[in-house]
Chain A
Amino acid sequence: MTNNKVKQWFPDMTKLYKPYCYEHLISNEKGQVCVYCPLVSTFNDGKIHEQIVDYDFEGHIRKFRLISSPVRDSSGSIIYGIELIEDITDKVNSEILLSEKNQQLESANKFLADSEKALKNILYDMKEAHEKLKNTQKQLIQSEKLASIGQLAAGIAHEINNPVGYINSNLSTLGKYIESFTEILRAVEIFQVYFKDDQIDKAKNVLNELYEFERNNDIKYMISDVDNLLRETKEGVDRIKKIVWDLRTFSRADMGERKLSDINKIIEGILSIVWNEIKYKANLKKEYGEIPLIDCNPQEIGQVFINILVNAAQAIVDKGLITIKTYNDEEKVFIEISDTGIGMSEEVSSKVFDPFFTTKEVGKGTGLGLSISYDLVKKHNGDIYVKSVQGQGTTFTIWFPIIRR
């Protein structure tokens, strides 16, 4: 018995004419029971069998699933076999398609995951590179700062060794004064003893010796000088203290922190560091305005002033004038540093903020001073610009924003 579907597949098959399925299969040329027939196996062992086979329908290969099961009578003997034939071609095809799609999806996923990983790596590398760059810039600023201190070292040594020179000398002079004073005190003591004992002659002798000692050693000069000596020595110590303090404030490697700072005070501190570069070259005119505090890193701002002031002094050939002016409007604090030096051509002044641009001899300038100054001012949301007339002088103007709280 067959159902409609089988009739559709094997239209010629009837109970009388070629009743077995294998008789209709093109692929089965021998006309015998197919070797894989599950029904045969079911008849043999009475169990359910399953087989998947390909049939060739005039060139179209279709896939079939054959399931055979036994039908038994009351005694248990097998009387029929039932074969279920299912065309699973479409099902299988869609499964393959699905698995292919799945595979594609999976590999797409993998690709995505890989890409993400790669991106993360790139991001990490970039972060690292950025960090490195930031560090390098920090180091560059510090090196430039140290280089500028190095170039200032001769001047700073001069500024320190001069007071050390006279402090040292004054102290050893003072030692000699004290020796003499001690000598006199000792004589006075001896005089007092003789005087108490009424040994007037001996006392007189001591007194005469004392007078002679005073004459010989110019004690009057010592007494008149000692106040001056101490005052000058103290002033020398104060000078050194100030230079060392300003230098330390400026050169600390920690780069300092941002804080509300008085720009006028920063300039004053920097002036004591660069004073030796300026004092023989220029008179200094300070026009400090009463300006509000600025949120800034005093060391970084100091570095900017050092660069501009040293350049100003170097631009002056013989003797000139450097003017420092500070003032403010509603939003900004301005600092103007002008010199009466040789000035710059337009070509030079347009390049002064370029890194490694320098007009100085090899070894005299890094070519980074003003470039770093520019960066530092920009970092503080300010601006710096230059106006120069050849033969007349140069003016640098810097401003910083006032932050109202």
Chain B
Amino acid sequence: MHKHKILLIDDEQPILNALTRVFHNSSYELFTATSAEQALGFLERNNIDLIICDYQLGGMNGIDFLENISKDNPDIINILLTAHADLDMAIDAINRAVLYKFIMKPWNDNNLLITVRRALEQRDLIIENKRLMNEIKKRDIYIKQLEKESPGITDIKRDDSGNIIIE
């Protein structure tokens, strides 16, 4: 089974440690970063599925960071974890950071686990959906090609009881 990869970003090591404990016995592969630079390194080298990102990162805020990486990685699920929120920040986050969830510190471990599981399920479904759509497109092209080469070959005729008639 494909192991989902989660990237945790927070400038405070104890927060990363606590989150690591929360996800320890689950089936995810965890990466932790204490800065935006470090996080970018992980993003380049790994196929990250989901990011949980603190608002205040050294040098850059979480919204700017998520907005930046979303341009190149539109499929990654973004969750913002913040110790303080006001309306401006929330509006900014929703409009720019393409957020899946906005979670306040202190968080609830179980809710966080459920949120992450659902998000990943949803993401898997979307990716699966895309893959199937592609598959259909491919077959469609193939069928059209066949029809071109042998007109009528893709046309299926049936009798009244539904049996296929081969002429």
A interface residue numbers (CB < 8 A to B): 154-155, 157-170, 172-173, 217-218, 221, 225, 228-229, 232, 235-236, 276, 280, 319
Closest residue of chain B to A168 (Cβ to Cβ) is: B106
Does the CB pair B19–A169 fall under 8 Å?
A: yes
Does the CB pair B22–A164 fall under 8 Å?
A: no
> What's the nearest-Cβ distance from chain B to residue A227, in Å?
12
Encode B82-97 as 1/0 by CB contact (under 8 A) with A.
Answer: 0110100000000000
> What's the nearest-Cβ distance from chain A to residue B16, in Å?
9
Does the CB pair A154–B86 fall under 8 Å?
A: yes
> What's the nearest-Cβ distance from chain B to residue A363, in Å?
12
Encode B7-19 as 1/0 by CB contact (under 8 A) with A.
Answer: 0000010110111
Does the CB pair B105–A172 fall under 8 Å?
A: no
Q: Is B21 an interface residue (CB 8 A)?
A: yes
Inter-chain contacts of A164 with B (CB < 8 A): 105-106
Partner of B84, one of A161, A168, A221, A235: A161
Closest residue of chain B to A173 (Cβ to Cβ) is: B21
Inter-chain contacts of B150 with A (CB < 8 A): none
Bound-state Cα–Cα, A218 to B108, Å: 22
Q: Is B25 an interface residue (CB 8 A)?
A: yes
Encode B146-166 as 1/0 by CB contact (under 8 A) with A.
Answer: 000000000000000000000
- Contact size range, B: 20 to 34
Bound-state Cα–Cα, A170 to B107, Å: 11
Inter-chain contacts of A229 with B (CB < 8 A): 17, 21
Q: Is B135 an interface residue (CB 8 A)?
A: no
Partner of B106, one of A154, A165, A173, A232: A165
Residue from A160, A161, A221 whose CB has the most chain B CB atoms within 10 Å: A161
Given contacts A169-B109, A232-B17, A280-B56, are A154 and B84 in contact (CB under 8 A)? yes
Does the CB pair A173–B86 fall under 8 Å?
A: no
Does the CB pair A172–B109 fall under 8 Å?
A: yes
Closest residue of chain B to A166 (Cβ to Cβ) is: B18
Given contacts A217-B25, A280-B56, are A165 and B109 in contact (CB under 8 A)? no
Interchain Cβ contacts under 8 Å between A and B, 17 examples? A154-B86, A160-B83, A161-B106, A164-B106, A165-B81, A165-B106, A166-B17, A167-B106, A168-B106, A169-B21, A170-B18, A172-B110, A221-B24, A229-B17, A229-B21, A236-B14, A280-B59
Given contacts A217-B25, A218-B24, A280-B56, are A163 and B14 in contact (CB under 8 A)? yes
Inter-chain contacts of A160 with B (CB < 8 A): 83
Inter-chain contacts of A221 with B (CB < 8 A): 24
Inter-chain contacts of A169 with B (CB < 8 A): 18-19, 21-22, 106-107, 109
Bound-state Cα–Cα, A236 to B25, Å: 24
Given contacts A168-B106, A232-B18, A280-B56, 12 further A-B contacts (CB under 8 A): A154-B84, A158-B56, A158-B83, A162-B105, A163-B14, A165-B105, A166-B12, A166-B17, A169-B18, A169-B106, A225-B21, A229-B17
> What's the nearest-Cβ distance from chain B to residue A251, in Å?
18
> What's the nearest-Cβ distance from chain B to residue A346, in Å?
32
Does the CB pair B25–A173 fall under 8 Å?
A: no
Partner of A165, one of B15, B21, B25, B58: B15
Closest residue of chain A to B15 (Cβ to Cβ) is: A166
Inter-chain contacts of B107 with A (CB < 8 A): 165, 168-169
Does the CB pair B18–A235 fall under 8 Å?
A: no
Closest residue of chain B to A174 (Cβ to Cβ) is: B21
Inter-chain contacts of B22 with A (CB < 8 A): 169, 173
Closest residue of chain A to B105 (Cβ to Cβ) is: A165
Bound-state Cα–Cα, A158 to B108, Å: 17
Does the CB pair B59–A173 fall under 8 Å?
A: no
Q: Across chains A and B, which 9 residue pairs bring their CB atoms closest together, nearest first?
A: A165-B105, A161-B83, A166-B18, A168-B106, A169-B18, A157-B84, A158-B83, A165-B106, A161-B105
> What's the nearest-Cβ distance from chain A to residue B154, in Å?
53
Closest residue of chain A to B103 (Cβ to Cβ) is: A165
Closest residue of chain B to A229 (Cβ to Cβ) is: B21
Bound-state Cα–Cα, A49 to B14, Å: 121
Bound-state Cα–Cα, A164 to B104, Å: 11
Inter-chain contacts of B19 with A (CB < 8 A): 169
Bound-state Cα–Cα, A217 to B108, Å: 21
Inter-chain contacts of A162 with B (CB < 8 A): 12, 15, 83, 105
Inter-chain contacts of B24 with A (CB < 8 A): 218, 221
In chain B, positions 14-53 with a C-beta closer than 8 Å to chain A are 14-15, 17-19, 21-22, 24-25
Bound-state Cα–Cα, A160 to B21, Å: 21
Inter-chain contacts of B106 with A (CB < 8 A): 161, 164-165, 167-169
Closest residue of chain B to A164 (Cβ to Cβ) is: B106
Closest residue of chain B to A154 (Cβ to Cβ) is: B84
> What's the nearest-Cβ distance from chain B to residue A99, in Å?
83
Residue from B17, B58, B86 whose CB has the most chain A CB atoms within 10 Å: B17
Inter-chain contacts of A170 with B (CB < 8 A): 18, 21
Bound-state Cα–Cα, A235 to B17, Å: 13
Bound-state Cα–Cα, A164 to B14, Å: 11
Closest residue of chain B to A175 (Cβ to Cβ) is: B109
Bound-state Cα–Cα, A166 to B21, Å: 10
Bound-state Cα–Cα, A159 to B82, Å: 11
Inter-chain contacts of B17 with A (CB < 8 A): 166, 228-229, 232
Given contacts A161-B84, A165-B83, A170-B18, are A218 and B56 in contact (CB under 8 A)? no
